[in-house]
Amino acid sequence: MAILPRVVLLMGPTASGKTALGIEIAKALKGEVISVDSALVYRGMDIGTAKPDMEERQGIKHHLIDIIDPSESFSAGQFREQTLKLINEVSRRGKTPVLVGGTMLYFHVLLNGIAQLPEADNTIRRQIDQQAKSSGWKALHEQLRKIDPKAANRIHQNDTQRIQRALEVYRASGKTQSAWLEEQAKQPLPFNAVKFAIVPGNRVELHHKISLRMDLMLNNGFLDEVRLLFERGDLAANMPAIRSVGYRQAWSYLEGKYDETTFREKAIIATRQLAKRQFTWLRQQSDTMRFEMGDNQALAKVVEEFNRVDLKKKQNALIN
How many residues belong to the chain?
320
Residue 138 pLDDT grade (very low, low, confident, very high; cuts 50, 70, 90): very high
Tens of pLDDT, residues 82-91: 999 999 999 9
226-263: string of b/e by CB count within 10 Å (b at 16+)?
Answer: beebbeeeebeebbbbbbbbbbbbbbbbbeeeeeeeeb
Query: Mean of the pLDDT values across residues 123-132?
Result: 93
Question: Residue 186: pLDDT above 70?
Answer: no
Here the contacts of 284-290 (C-beta below 8 Å, separation 24 or greater) are: 285/11, 285/195, 285/197, 287/193, 287/195, 288/11, 288/195, 288/196, 288/197, 289/195, 289/196, 289/197, 290/196, 290/197, 290/198, 290/199
Residue 116 pLDDT grade (very low, low, confident, very high; cuts 50, 70, 90): confident
pLDDT score at 318: 46
Tens of pLDDT, residues 263-314: 999 999 999 999 999 999 998 888 999 999 989 999 999 999 999 986 665 5
Q: Which of 130, 134, 133, 140 is nearest to 167 (CA)?
A: 140
Tens of pLDDT, residues 51-72: 999 999 999 999 999 999 999 9
Is residue 203 within 8 Å of residue 14, measured between CB atoms?
no
Whole-model pTM?
0.81
pLDDT score at 71: 97
* List of domains in the chain: 6-114+185-319 (3.40.50.300), 122-183 (1.10.20.140)
